[in-house]
Amino acid sequence: MSGNKPLKGIKIIDFTHVQAGPACTQLLAWFGADVIKVERPGAGDVTRSQLRDIPDADALYFTMLNSNKRSLTLDTKTPEGKEVLEKLIKKSDVMVENFGPGALDRMGFTWQRIQELNPGMILASVKGFSDGHHYEDLKVYENVAQCAGGAASTTGWWKGENAGPTISAAALGDSNTGMHLAIGILTAIIGRQQTGKGQKVAVSMQDAVLNLCRVKMRDQLRLDKVGYLEEYPQYPHEKFGDVVPRGGNAGGGGQPGWILKCKGWETDPNAYIYFTIQGHAWEPICDALGKPEWKTDPNYTTAKARQPHIMDIFATIENFIKDKTKFEAVDIFRKFDIPCAPVLSMKELLHDKSLRASGSIVEVPHKVRGSYWTVGSPIKFSDLKPEVTASPLLGEHTDEVLAELGYSKDQIGKMHSNKAV
Ligand code: COA
């Protein structure tokens, strides 16, 4: 970490697992918070052993979501474990959890109890649905949230053999909810500076997905009003129903766009670009394609005039780039200020020089794995360059954290024999 550490001194009990919660606390750890991951003795976060690529080493699923943290093993269902957690709560600023509904209460740590122990405590939770929701009892994973939050209904194809609600590969339900929660935690920390009191912060995965689908709600309201959506590929040749349709690869905003094939698409699954027809860039597009006559043809001069044959326009562009690689195509269009990008594979992103130089892709040394590549901080500061350090081994910091809480060597040894830690 270079520069200052804005969250230095903030102590976080990280009672999270899988992805949504860990993504949130990892972000806060990058920015300087002391994040203590509390895990069940013996097993720890389930992602340590899920989807392993190296036998007996923490899986990438775990290492890529838990960097910069410390690990404390603690059975919080034993009296000794509960006592340790109480001490930690008294000394910490934030507790983050994403257990199934009611698990924390069943453990004996209700919001009321936590406030008694530490009135300044901020309790931050991720659940599938918000408190009081008719589905509040449900356990939820990523794709369930994408369906409940509107993403699946508006993603994918509306006709053809692949028609149907579709899940995005992006973690809209998990990491996205964690990012929302991080904003809530930082807000509550600032609020506490004013009031001296902590508070409960909660983000449901359904709400976090819906927040990202805001523009689709916009389209529903427009559809209700006018009965059609001009920028969707269904317009004007097909009928609209009463719900926002799936738009395939349409831009969905004011600028029509589509995925276009480039040289080699027959064998390379990612030989494509995304091309956007930005209204005021129409003339440069005509110049780039060598179609100056389109600049004055009334069938092409306005977005409305272009829409009925927008797919023919995309076909013309595709024909223009069929002998060019995706990188060559983008290099041509960027000179004309046209918003476009190659479709980049994970392999290309992993080896991208710019991403490595900026710290968006980083290599992290690890005691057992040797080293692993991971995604670094997407947030860049002028006075902070987060340094990503290894995820902790299970219980790596148990004795250290217990000693900080005032336990003697003998007491710590006893807890180990009792399997409380
Ligand atoms: N010591 C003792 N017990 C512990 C413990 C510890 N350190 N850590 C967890 N536990 C216990 C919990 O108290 C709970 O016990 P209980 O059910 O007997 O009360 C138990 O472990 C299981 O917790 P739960 O969170 O329900 O795990 P699960 O594997 O059944 O469900 C999810 C996993 C993700 C579906 C569920 O946690 C969930 O819906 N979370 C909220 C939404 C979410 O974040 N989902 C996305 C994850 S990426």
User: Rounded distance, CA 194 to CA 60, Å?
Assistant: 40
Instruction: Give the model's confidence band at 280: pLDDT under 50 very low, under 70 low, under 90 confident, else very high.
Output: confident
Residues 166 and 281 in one domain: no
Determine if ligand 1 sits within 6 Å of the CB of residue 140: yes
- Could you tell me what percent of the chain has a pLDDT over 90? 96
What pLDDT is stored for residue 4 in this prediction?
84
Closest CA to 344 of 273, 259, 248, 261: 273
What confidence tens digit (pLDDT) does each residue in 162-202 have?
999 999 999 999 999 999 999 999 999 999 999 999 999 99
Complete edge-to-edge strand list for the sheet that includes strand 122-127: 70-73, 34-39, 11-15, 94-97, 122-127, 200-204
Pairing verdict, β 34-39 and 70-73: parallel
CATH of the domain at 108: 3.40.50.10540
User: Rounded distance, CA 414 to CA 419, Å?
Assistant: 9
Residues 359 and 318 in one domain: no
Q: Is residue 4 part of a domain?
A: no
Residues 157 and 278 in one domain: no
Q: Is residue 401 part of a domain?
A: yes
Alpha helices in 136-281 (DSSP H): 142-148, 151-154, 175-195, 205-212, 214-226
Residues 58 and 192 in one domain: yes
Residues 206 and 318 in one domain: no
For residue 258, give every residue at least 6 positions away whose Cβ sits within 8 Å of its Cβ, in sequence order, or none. 249, 250, 251, 274, 275, 311, 314
pLDDT above 70: residue 207:
yes
Residues 78 and 50 in one domain: yes
Between 110-119, 215-224, 276-285, 339-348, the lowest mean confidence (pLDDT) is in 276-285
The answer to whether 43 touches 74, Cβ cutoff 8 Å, is no
pTM (two decimals): 0.97
74 is in an annotated binding site: yes
CATH of the domain at 289: 3.30.1540.10
What confidence tens digit (pLDDT) does each residue in 245-270 have?
999 999 778 889 999 999 999 999 99
What pLDDT is stored for residue 69 in this prediction?
98
Instruction: Give the model's confidence band at 3: pLDDT under 50 very low, under 70 low, under 90 confident, else very high.
Output: low
Q: Which two tokens stand for residue 109?
A: 């740590």
Residues 377 and 323 in one domain: no
Q: Is residue 274 part of a domain?
A: yes
Residues 311 and 369 in one domain: no
Probe residue for ligand 1, chosen from 45, 86, 139, 140 as the CB with the greatest number of ligand atoms within 8 Å: 139
The structural domain count of the chain equals 2
How much is the average pLDDT of 52-73? 97
Gap from CA of 139 to ligand 1 centroid (Å): 9
Half-sphere exposure of 179 (CA within 13 A, CB side): 13
The number of the ligand 1 atom at minimal distance from the alpha carbon of 73 is 7
pLDDT above 80: residue 22:
yes
Q: How far, CA to CA in Å, does 264 sit from each of 208, 261, 284, 325, 341?
A: 38, 8, 26, 7, 16
What are the DSSP E strand ranges found in 46-121? Answer: 70-73, 94-97
Gap from CA of 105 to ligand 1 centroid (Å): 12
Query: Pick from 316, 338, 360: which residue ends a domain?
Result: 338
Q: Is residue 243 part of a domain?
A: no
Residues 330 and 411 in one domain: no
What pLDDT is stored for residue 251 in this prediction?
74
Q: Is residue 249 part of a domain?
A: no
Determine if ligand 1 sits within 6 Å of the CB of residue 126: yes
How many residues does this entry show for the chain?
421
Query: Pick from 338, 370, 387: which residue ends a domain?
Result: 338
How much is the average pLDDT of 214-241? 95
Instruction: Give the model's confidence band at 279: pLDDT under 50 very low, under 70 low, under 90 confident, else very high.
Output: confident
Determine if ligand 1 sits within 6 Å of the CB of residue 409: no
What pLDDT is stored for residue 254 in this prediction?
80
Instruction: Give the model's confidence band at 142: pLDDT under 50 very low, under 70 low, under 90 confident, else very high.
Output: very high
User: Rounded distance, CA 232 to CA 225, Å?
Assistant: 16
Residue with tokens 């356990």: 139
What confidence tens digit (pLDDT) does each residue in 74-110 have?
999 999 999 999 999 999 999 999 999 999 999 999 9
Residues 413 and 304 in one domain: no
Determine if ligand 1 sits within 6 Å of the CB of residue 7: no
| Domain, as residue range, for 311 | 256-338
Residues 197 and 302 in one domain: no
What pLDDT is stored for residue 2 in this prediction?
52
Closest CA to 274 of 298, 249, 254: 249
Query: Pick from 279, 303, 338: which residue ends a domain?
Result: 338
383 is catalytic: no
Q: What is the CA radius of gyration of the chain?
A: 26
How much is the average pLDDT of 32-50? 97
Q: Is residue 343 part of a domain?
A: no
Q: Is residue 383 part of a domain?
A: yes
Q: Which two tokens stand for residue 293?
A: 């006559």
Mean pLDDT of the chain: 96
Q: Is residue 240 part of a domain?
A: no
Residues 206 and 265 in one domain: no
Gap from CA of 99 to ligand 1 centroid (Å): 4
Determine if ligand 1 sits within 6 Å of the CB of residue 63: no
What confidence tens digit (pLDDT) does each residue in 305-324 have?
999 999 999 999 999 999 99
